[in-house]
Amino acid sequence: MVYTILISIVFIAELIIAITIIQNLLKLDKKILNFDEILAKKKSTIKDIFILLNRISEQTKVLAEDFVNKTKENAENISLKLLSKLLISVLLLKLNFKLVKKIQQSKFTKLFARSWSILETMV
Domains of the chain, by residue range, sit at: 2-122
Q: Which residues contact 109 (CB under 8 A, 6 or more apart)?
A: 103
User: How distant is the alpha carbon of residue 23 from its chain centre?
Assistant: 53
- Residue 121's pLDDT band, with cuts at 50, 70 and 90, is low
Q: At what angle do helices 2-105 and 107-122 cross, to 10 degrees?
A: 80
Give tens-digit pLDDT for 39-88: 888 888 888 999 999 999 999 999 989 988 888 888 777 877 777 777 77
The mean predicted confidence, pLDDT, of the chain is 82
Query: What is the rounded distance in angstroms from the CA atom of residue 67 to the CA atom of residue 78?
Result: 16
Number of H helices, E strands in the chain: 2, 0
5 vs 96, more confident: 5
